[in-house]
Structure 1
C-alpha cells in the first residue's frame, strides 16, 4: 500500500510539472514573440492600472466619509422632529420610521447641554468602533475603510458628527454591514470605470506612440534588413525624414553609415577585380621574364667588357623579378611571405640603386650613397632591396617631374648604426633636394591607391615599402624637419630565440 501510494504521488507530481512547464514556456514564448507595439500596450495598461490603484485607496476613504456624513445628515432631520415635540414622547411607530430612514439603531442629539435619545430597543453598552467625523483625518479614514473591508464586525459602530440648526452634535448607532456592502459596491463600480479609463488611455497612448515611435523604429529595422541583403545598392540607403528628435538623428546617422559602407564595399569589389586582373597580367609577365632571363644567361658568355659588367646585374634583376612575380604583386596577395632576417652587409643591397637614375631618357637626377663599408643590418636582403627600390624610384620620378630649383637634382642614401650589433638599430635615410611633398599627399602617404604624388601614379610604392619594412620589424616614416622629401627607415637588430 505504501509503495502504491508513493507511486501515485510521484505520478501526480510529474503530471503537475508537465502541465506547469508548458504553461510557463508558453508564457515565455508569448513574451518573446510579442512585438514592440504589444509590449508598449501592456506596459501602458499596467501603468494606468497602478495609477488607478493608487487613486482607489483615498477614493474609498472619501466614499466612507461621505456615506457616514449622509447618515449624520439624515439623523439631523430626525433631530428636527425630536426638537418639534419638546417634552413629549415619540411614538414607537414614528421612531421606527425615523430610525429606518437613517438606517440606525439609535439617534442622540445634544443641544444647550440637554441630550435626547431616539431608540426603540435598548442601547448596548459597548460598540465595535467609534468614528468622530469632527476629528478624523485622511489617515484615520483610510485605516477605518480597510478595517471595514478586511475585518468587519457584527457589533454596531458609533458615529459622531457636527450638529446644525441649534444642535451641538449628532450621534448615531448603526450596523457596519451596510457600510461594508456600500464600500464593496463602490469598489466594483470604481474597478469597472478604472478598467475602461485604463483601456481608453492605453489605447490613446498606444495609437500616439505607434505613429510617433513604433512605426519610425519599424522603418529603421526594415531598412537595415533590406540594406543587409544588398549593401552595395544605393537605392537601399534610407532617406532621412525631417524629424529633429533622436529618431531623426538615428535616421541621419544610419544613412551616413550606409552610404559610407556602400562606398567601401564598392571600393573593395573594384580592388578585388583589380587583383584578379593583376594576377592574370602577373602570370603572363612571369613567362616573359623567364625568356628574358634565358637571353641574359647567354649574354654572360659574351666577350664585350661592358656586357660582362652589366650582364650579371641584369640576370640578378631578372631573377628577383621572376621570384617577385611568382609570389604575386605585394598588394595582389593577402600577405607577404615571412621575412628571412639575418645580418647582412648593407652596401651590396644599395649597389644597384644608382642605376635607377636612368629610368627616363634625359634624366639629370644623381643618386649618391653615404654608407660605411662594413655596416651590417638585420633584415631580409630581398625585401629590404624592394623597399629601397620603391623609395628611390619615387624620388627619381618626383625630381624628374618637379626638378630641384637651380640645383642639380639628387637623391642621397645614407645609413648609420646606433648601438652594438645584436642590441642596436640601423637608420637609413632616403632624401632628395626637391620641393617636398604637398600636404594633401601626407594625409594618405602610405595608403594604397591614395598616396600617389604624381599624375597616373597608383600610390602602391610607398604602401609596399612600408609593409616590407614593418615585416622586418622596422618603421618607415616621413621626416618633416628635413628639406625636400626625406624618408627615415629604422630597423632594430633581431636575435633569434634559442
Structure 2
C-alpha cells in the first residue's frame, strides 16, 4: 500500500511538473500549445515520410540490381567473368540478385559465398502500416544486418526480383534523413509557432490582457472614472466585450455614486435631525417659560415663535445639499468656557428638572475653538448625561433627584481639558464597545448613538481628542482635549506628560 501510494505521488508530481508551463499566463499557454501542436503535426508527417524514404531507397536498389542483371541477358550463355560480376554487384551494392520469370527462379548474380540472410521484406504486398513498422525496425536495429528484399521488376521483366544486401547503408541514410527532417520540422515549427503566437497575441491575448487589467483596476477603485475602459472600434467579440464592459462599469459607478450620495444624505439628515431635536427641545423650554408669562403681548407673539421654528425647520431642509454630510471647518476664536457652559445648562434642561448642574469651569479660562461647534459638543454630552440620570434602558422616565452633572476644565500646557461627568448608573458594556460610532453606541433601545458620534467628529476637526475616562456604578466621566490652535505640535498625551514634568 505504501509503495503504491509513493508511486502515485511520484506520478502526480511528474504530471504537475509537466503541466507547469500550461499553468502560467495566457501568452505562455498559447506559445507552449502552439509549439506542441505544430510538433505533433510534424511528427504525423515525419513518420510516413521516413517509411516512404525507405521504400524509395529499396526500389532504387532493386532497379539498380535489375540493370546489373541485364549484362547477363546480353551474353549467350548468361555468364560473365568474375571481375565483371564483382563490378556489377559492387555498383548495385548487393550480394546477390535473383529473378522470377516464367514460374522459375533463377540466380542471376551472386558472390561465391554470399552471407546468411537475417530477415526478409516483401514490398509487393506490404501495407502502409507494415512499411512504417519496417522503417522503425530498420532505424532501431544495429548495423550489419543482412536482409533479402523482394519486389516487382520494372517494365514487366518478370514476376519478381530478389536482392540480398547489407542494411547498414540504408539505416545510415534513414538516420541522416530523419535528422534533416527533424531539423527542418523544428525550424518550421518555431517559425509557424512564432507567427501564430504573434498573430494570436495581438489579436486575442493583448486585448484580453487589457480587459483583465482593466477589470482588476476597476475592482480596486470603482469610483475612479479613469478606470472605465475605453472601447476600441473592433467589430468582433472582443469589441463587443469591451463595449459591454464599459457600459457595465458605468452602470456600476452610477449605482455606487447613487448609494454613496444616499448614504451621505442619510448621515446628513440624521445629524441635522439629532442636533435640530436638541435645538427644538431648547426652544420648547424657552417657549414654555415665555408661555407662562401672563402678558397679552407675549401670548400674542407665542404662535409667531412656533411659526418661526417651523420656518427654521423648513429652511434647514431646503439648505441641505445632496450628498454633503461633512461638517464645516471650525472658525476658531477665543471662547469664555464658563459662559458657554451656562448657555449649555440653560439649553439642556429647565429649572424644574430633578438634576443639579455644577459649573466648575474657572471664570477666566479661555479655549480656542469654534463657539457653535463647542456648544454642540457640550450639549450632546450634557443631554446624554441627563438621559442617563432620568431614563432607564427602555426609555421610561424615573425620578432621580440626587442626579448631578458636573462640568470642569483646566489648562494643560498648550491644551484645554474639559471634563463632563455624572453620577448615573454608567454605560452598559454594549454601548462602550462602539461608543463613538453612529447607530451603534447608544445605551437606549430607541437611541441612535449620534450624539457621541457628532461630538467626536467635531472634536477631531479641532485637532483634539475625546475619551471615556470611566463608566461604572459611581457614574460616567468624559474628557475632551482641545489644543490652542491647529498648529500645536503636541498631542493630548504629550501635553499631559509635559505638564507633569513641569510640575
Residues 237 and 258, structure 1, Cα contact 8 Å, conserved in 2? yes
Cα gap change, 1:76 to 1:173, in 2 (>3 Å): same
Structure 2 counterpart SS, 1:142? helix
Tell me, yes or no, if structure 1 residue 208 matches structure 2 residue 199: yes
Distance 2:246 2:54 in 1: 61
1:239-278 counterparts in 2 under 5 A? Answer: 239-278=230-269
Residues 105 and 121, structure 1, Cα contact 8 Å, conserved in 2? no
Structure 2 counterpart SS, 1:174? strand
Residues 52 and 194, structure 1, Cα contact 8 Å, conserved in 2? yes
Residues 231 and 239, structure 2, Cα contact 8 Å, conserved in 1? yes
Structure 2 counterpart SS, 1:241? coil
Residues 111 and 166, structure 1, Cα contact 8 Å, conserved in 2? no
- CA-to-partner distance for each residue in 1:117-147, whole Å, 9 max, x for gaps? 21123235x5222211211111211121122
Counterpart in the other structure of 2:166: 175
CA displacement at 1:243 relative to structure 2: 3.0
Counterpart in the other structure of 2:140: 150
Counterpart in the other structure of 2:468: none
Counterpart in the other structure of 1:223: 214
Cα gap change, 1:202 to 1:57, in 2 (>3 Å): same
1:238 corresponds, among 229, 235, 244, to 229
Distance 2:128 2:21 in 1: 41
Tell me, yes or no, if structure 1 residue 92 matches structure 2 residue 82: yes
Counterpart in the other structure of 1:159: 149
Which segments of 5 or more consecutive residues in structure 1 lack a partner in the other structure? Answer: 1-19, 308-313, 315-320, 322-331, 334-380, 383-467, 469-498
Tell me, yes or no, if structure 1 residue 140 matches structure 2 residue 130: yes
Distance 1:138 1:28 in 2: 33
Distance 1:37 1:128 in 2: 53
Distance 2:18 2:75 in 1: 74
Of the structure 1 ranges 224-233 and 208-217, higher mean CA displacement relative to structure 2 is found in 224-233
CA displacement at 1:88 relative to structure 2: 4.1
- CA-to-partner distance for each residue in 1:83-120, whole Å, 9 max, x for gaps? 11131421222112211122111111233455242112
- CA-to-partner distance for each residue in 1:138-170, whole Å, 9 max, x for gaps? 121112112222234744111111123452122
CA displacement at 1:289 relative to structure 2: 2.8
Distance 2:242 2:112 in 1: 81
Structure 1 counterpart SS, 2:154? coil
Structure 1 counterpart SS, 2:121? strand
Distance 1:47 1:154 in 2: 37
Cα gap change, 1:48 to 1:129, in 2 (>3 Å): same
Residues 92 and 120, structure 1, Cα contact 8 Å, conserved in 2? no
In the comparison of the two structures, how many residue pairs are matched? 290
Counterpart in the other structure of 1:52: 42
1:107 corresponds, among 56, 75, 97, to 97
Cα gap change, 1:137 to 1:32, in 2 (>3 Å): closer
So what's the TM-score if we normalise by structure 2?
Answer: 0.51
1:244-323 counterparts in 2 under 5 A? Answer: 244-294=235-285
Cα gap change, 1:41 to 1:155, in 2 (>3 Å): closer
Residues 62 and 161, structure 2, Cα contact 8 Å, conserved in 1? yes
Distance 2:22 2:29 in 1: 10
- CA-to-partner distance for each residue in 1:421-454, whole Å, 9 max, x for gaps? xxxxxxxxxxxxxxxxxxxxxxxxxxxxxxxxxx
Cα gap change, 1:29 to 1:95, in 2 (>3 Å): closer
Tell me, yes or no, if structure 1 residue 41 matches structure 2 residue 31: yes
CA displacement at 1:31 relative to structure 2: 4.2
2:188 corresponds, among 197, 205, 218, to 197
Distance 1:150 1:134 in 2: 23
Counterpart in the other structure of 1:372: none
Counterpart in the other structure of 2:429: none
So what's the TM-score if we normalise by structure 1?
Answer: 0.51
Distance 2:97 2:274 in 1: 118
CA displacement at 1:32 relative to structure 2: 8.7
CA displacement at 1:29 relative to structure 2: 12
Distance 1:129 1:90 in 2: 29
Residues 117 and 148, structure 2, Cα contact 8 Å, conserved in 1? yes
1:63 corresponds, among 30, 41, 53, to 53
Tell me, yes or no, if structure 1 residue 74 matches structure 2 residue 74: no
Residues 96 and 120, structure 1, Cα contact 8 Å, conserved in 2? yes
